[in-house]
Amino acid sequence: MDNPIHRKNQGIMLRDALRTLEPYVAGQSELGYIKLSANENPFGMPRSARRAIERALKDAYRYPPSDPHLLRQNIAAHHQRSAKWITVGNGSDELLNIIAASIMERDYEGIVAAHTFSVYRQVIRLYGGKVVTFPMPEGALDWRAVLAAVGHRTHIVFLANPNNPTGSYMRSAELTALLRALPPRILVVLDEAYADFVDAADCARGEELLSQHENIVVLRTFSKIYALAGLRIGYALAAPRLTEAFNRIRSPFNCNRLAQAAALAVLNDKGSYQRARAIILAERQRMQEALRRLGFSPLPSQGNFICLPVEVPAEKYAQRLKAQGVLVRPLTSFGLPHHLRISIGRPRENWRLLRALRATRS
């Protein structure tokens, strides 16, 4: 791969690992468009978060607490645990990096799904590791496929559950079977960024397994249902020994005051959470049916988005929708060049999307 940051004979020698890093491809964002490209909460930040930010502003000239203990305690209580199990990060993106930094050595292998969030691959490579992918026939997260990818140099597995961008999930019984079969040296990172949108009773929940297995980290974020994507804050739940390591690695003031204050507020704002969840789940159902009526075959989804196979190359289809005023995510960089990922928006935005899809078909 020609990577311009790694040309030889230009003075500074950058690390070899950088040769394999790909730039992150973010969902499009442009003023004046309906944005269904980044799986955000379309209802915006709850009033409780705005008020907390306004209160925190007067102290913004001071460093935030280096150990956000109050927030950690509240998160811990939310999961019936103690603060010793919680690491707070600058988005779950940063936590993925911290986790990889604490596990990976050169030439270790890390396992990721064939079609999933690209940051897993990045952090494996950043520390000199090798990415091993497991196949996802029909978009399924199959525990046997994960197990088949394990070698004697495997030290980490990243699983998004539900998965971005397919919306598929691993069942509780399957995750239990996987954890029983994996050697305990392998850390399983269960990225539950979309767990709040799950309504399938048999979907695995990492926190239920934390007490039985030391080799799990569960990641949650305030970017999705809690609507704080722009503030960058998320957290990891893991056994105290791992949590202590993560907290040593993270930079001392990684979560700013405004993000900490807003996270505390939304965590205790059950009303906003329930309202957003109810509407998004109802809209997801309505959109699935409407898309099928239009002749599409959307994948079943447990996230706040729908993965849609399209006949035309995804980039081209996304351009057509953009011409109709709607931004969606072509999934070429996820290895799915004929699929789009469409976030669930407000009801009116979803209507606009359906109208745009209809227009592209006529």
Interface ranges with ligand PMP (CB under 6 A)? 39, 91-93, 117, 160, 164, 191, 193, 221, 223, 229, 234
How far apart (Å, rounded) are the C-alpha atoms in residues 34 and 36? 6
Closer to ligand PMP by CB, 92 or 350: give it: 92
Half-sphere exposure of 180 (CA within 13 A, CB side): 7
Closer to ligand PMP by CB, 17 or 229: give it: 229
Smallest gap from residue 142 Cβ to ligand PMP (A): 18
Smallest gap from residue 115 Cβ to ligand PMP (A): 12
Smallest gap from residue 223 Cβ to ligand PMP (A): 3
Closer to ligand PMP by CB, 191 or 207: give it: 191
Smallest gap from residue 10 Cβ to ligand PMP (A): 32
Smallest gap from residue 178 Cβ to ligand PMP (A): 18
Residues 6+ apart with CB under 8 A from 150: 111, 182, 183, 186
Smallest gap from residue 169 Cβ to ligand PMP (A): 12
Smallest gap from residue 72 Cβ to ligand PMP (A): 16
Closer to ligand PMP by CB, 117 or 127: give it: 117
Closer to ligand PMP by CB, 290 or 343: give it: 343
How far apart (Å, rounded) are the C-alpha atoms in residues 153 and 296? 42
Closer to ligand PMP by CB, 53 or 236: give it: 236
Amino acid at 103: I
How far apart (Å, rounded) are the C-alpha atoms in residues 191 and 182? 18
Smallest gap from residue 12 Cβ to ligand PMP (A): 29
Closer to ligand PMP by CB, 290 or 339: give it: 339
Closer to ligand PMP by CB, 93 or 349: give it: 93
Q: Which residue is nearest to ligand PMP (CB)?
A: 91
